[in-house]
Chains A and B, each alone.
Chain A
Amino acid sequence: MAGRSSTAARFVLTGAALLLALLLPFVLRNYYLHLLSALGIWIILAAGQFILTGLVGQVSLGQAAFYGIGAYGAVLLAVDLHWPVWIAALASIPLAALVGAAIGLPALRSRGPYLSLVTIAFGFVVHAVLLNWVKVTRGYQGIVNVPPLQLFGISFHTSFAYYYVVLAATIVTVLLTARWSESPWGRAWLAIKNSESAAVAAGINVSNYKLLAFAISAGLAGAAGSLYAFLDRFISPELFTFDTSIRIVTAVIIGGLGHIRYAVLGTILLIFTHEALSSLPQLEVFLYGIVLVAVLVFLPQGFGGWLLTSLAKVRQR
C-alpha cells in the first residue's frame, strides 16, 4: 500500500513540477528565464559528469573542454561553414563525443589519479587552442553575433522561446540518464566502479563500457555547449576554463554521486548560491571553496544522500 501511494504521490509531484516548468515563462521576467535556461544547461553538464564519475567511477576534471568543443563546434559550423543552424547545433554533439572517446583511450591503461591528470591536461590544451588559434576561434575576443537557433522555420531568438528548447533538452537528458543507470549498461558501469577485476571476471568488456561512458559524458557536455552558444549568442575561451570543469564536478559532488536526482539538486544549489552572491564575487569564490571542502569532509554522500538518510530516520520514528 505504502508503495502504491508513494508512486501516486510521485506521479502527482512530477506532473505539478512539469506544469510549473511549462508555465513559468508566462510570469517570470527575461532575466530569470535566462537564469533558468543556464540552470538547465548546467544540469546537462552535471548529468555528463554524473555518468562518468557517479556511475563508472572515472574521474574527469576536464568537462569544460567538451563543453567548449560543443559550443565552438556548433558556432563555427553555422557561422563559417554556413551549415543550417540546427544541424550545426546537433553535429557538435557527436564531435564532442568522439573527442571524449579519444581522451578515454589512455583511461583504459591508467588508473586513479593519472586519469584525472590527463583530463586536466586536456582541458588546458583545449583552452589554449581556443585562446590562441585566432584565425579560427577569434582568440580571447570570442565570437559575437552568433545566429539564433532555427528549427522548422521558427527562430528561437527570445529568452521565452529558447527556455522551452533548454527545458526539453534538460528533461530528455535527466530521463535518459536515469534510464541508463537502471539499464544493463548502468549495471555494467556500476560493476566496473565497484571492482574492475570482478567486472572482467563476470565477462564485462570493461574497455568498451568505459569508452562508451566517456563518449556519452563528453557528448552531453558538447550538447550543453551547443545549447549555451545559442542562448547567449556569444562565446569566448574564458567560459571553458579549468575553473568551469571544477564547478561542474562541484555541482555533482555537493549533490552527491549516488543518483542523478542528487546531481540535479547539487546543480540547483550551486547555481542559485552563485546568483545570490553575484554582487560579492570574491566572497562567493572564497565560500565556494570552503563549502566544497566542508561537504566532502562532513557530508561525503552529498546533500542528496544526507537528505535521504535524514528522511529515512524521520520515517522510522
Chain B
Amino acid sequence: MNNALQIAVAAVAVGGLYALVGISFSITYASARVINFSTGEMFMLAAFVALSLFKLGVPLYVMLPLAILFTGLFTVVLERLVIRRVYGFDDLTLLIVTIGLSISLRTGAQMIWGTVPDAFPQLFPGDTIHMGGVVITPTNLGILVVAALLIVLLHLFLFHSPIGAAMRAVAQNREVASLMGINVPLFLTFTWGLSAAVAGASGILMAPVYFVTTDMGVAIALKGFAAATIGGLGNVPGAILGGILVGLAEGFGAATISSTYKDAIAFGLMILVMFFKPHGLLGRAIEKY
C-alpha cells in the first residue's frame, strides 16, 4: 500500500510537468489550430539559457524569469517570421513546419552548446520529507507545488482576466473576435509567446532532475503531447487530467510491467483512448479552452 502511494506521489509530480507541457500544446492548438512540435525545443531552450546565465553568475531569482522571458520572446519572433505565413494551411503543412523548426532548433542548439550533458543547479535544496511512511524528495515536492501554482495562475489568467477572455474569443472564432475589436494577429503572437513560456518554465523545473541536453525536450514534448491528446486537444483541464493519467500509467506500468517500456506506455494509452474517444476524454468535436 505504502509502495503504491510512493509511486503515486512521484507519478503525480512528473504528471504535473506533463500537464504543463500539455497545456502549452493546448494553448497554441486552441488559438492557432497548430500542433506545435517545437514545444520540446522551447522546453530545452529555457533550460540552456538559464544554465548559461547561471554560469555567468546571475542569481537564481533573476535568471529563472529572464530565461522564461527570453524563450517567450524568441518564439514571438519565430511566430512573426515563420509560423504566421502558414496559418490557414492544411493540418499536414502546419504540423510539418513545426517539426522542421524543431529539427533545426535542436541541431542549432547542438552547434552552440555541444552534445555533452550538463548539470543544472538544484532549485529545491533540503532533506527528504517523510510523511506517513511515504518519502517525498524536495525536488518532487517543489515540482508539484510550482506546477500546481502555475496551472492555477494560468487558469485565472485564461478564464478570469480580460486578456484571457480575448484569447478565448480568438480561439473560438477569429472573425467574430476581430469584429469585436480584438487585434487577432497580435493575440495569436501573444499566444505563442505564452505557450513557449509555459513550456520553458516546465523545462527549468525538469532540468535539475535530469541533465541538461539538447535532446531533453524530445521525450517530454511527446509525453506532454500525449497528455494533451488524451485529455482532448485544446482543452486545458483535459491536458491536466491527461498529464496526471500519463504520469500514473508510466509510474505503475514501470513498477508492474517493465521499466523499459515506460515510454511506450504513454503512447499505448493514447492509442487506446483514441480508439474509444476519438477527441480525447474531455474533448468535443469543436474544441475550446
Interfacial residues, chain A to chain B (CB-CB below 8 A): 53, 59, 61, 105-106, 109-114, 116-118, 120-122, 124-125, 128-129, 131-132, 246, 249-250, 253, 282, 285-286, 288-290, 292-293, 296-297, 300
Contact = CB atoms under 8 A, between A and B. Distances in A.
A246 B99 contact: yes
A120 B258 CA distance: 22
Top 5 nearest A-B pairs (CB, nearest first) are: A289-B104, A289-B103, A128-B264, A292-B100, A110-B278
Interface in B57-112: 82, 85-86, 89, 91-93, 95-97, 99-105, 107-108, 110-111
Interface residues of B, number: 41
Given A253-B96, A289-B104, A297-B97, A117 B229 contact: yes
A297 B85 contact: yes
B100 to A, nearest CB: 4
A309 B261 CA distance: 49
A22 B111 CA distance: 43
A282 B111 contact: yes
Contacts of A253: 92, 96
Nearest to B219: A124
* Most B CB within 10 A of own CB, among A61, A121, A129, A131: A121
Contacts of A128: 260-261, 263-264, 267
A286 B89 contact: no
A213 to B, nearest CB: 15
Contacts of B225: 117
Given A113-B233, A121-B226, A293-B100, A105 B261 contact: no
Interface string B228-248: 010001000000000000000
Contacts of A122: 267, 271
Most chain-A Cβ atoms within 10 A of its Cβ — which of B82, B91, B99, B233?
B99
Contact of B267 (A53, A125, A289): A125
Contacts of A288: 103-104
B91 A124 contact: no
Contact of A116 (B95, B263, B270): B95
Contacts of B267: 120-122, 124-125, 128
B283 to A, nearest CB: 9
Given A246-B103, A286-B108, A290-B100, 20 more contacts: A59-B95, A106-B274, A106-B275, A110-B278, A114-B274, A114-B278, A117-B225, A120-B267, A128-B263, A132-B258, A132-B261, A250-B96, A282-B107, A288-B103, A289-B104, A289-B107, A292-B96, A293-B97, A296-B100, A297-B85
A122 B226 CA distance: 12
Contact of A114 (B100, B107, B229): B229
B110 A282 contact: yes
Interface of A (DSSP majority class): helix
A49 to B, nearest CB: 11
A118 B268 CA distance: 10
Contacts of A289: 100-105, 107
B222 interface: yes
Contacts of B86: 296-297
B272 to A, nearest CB: 10
Contacts of A249: 92, 96
A197 to B, nearest CB: 14
Contacts of A131: 260
24 contacts: A106-B275, A110-B279, A112-B91, A113-B35, A116-B92, A117-B35, A118-B271, A121-B267, A121-B270, A121-B274, A125-B267, A246-B99, A250-B96, A282-B107, A282-B110, A286-B111, A289-B102, A289-B103, A292-B96, A292-B100, A293-B100, A293-B104, A296-B93, A296-B100
B45 to A, nearest CB: 15
B16 to A, nearest CB: 22
Contact of A124 (B102, B108, B222): B222
A282 B104 CA distance: 10
Nearest to A112: B91
A261 to B, nearest CB: 20
A159 B51 CA distance: 50
Contacts of A61: 95
A106 B85 CA distance: 31
A300 B89 contact: yes
B268 to A, nearest CB: 6
Contacts of B226: 121
Nearest to B229: A117
Given A53-B92, A296-B100, A285 B82 contact: no
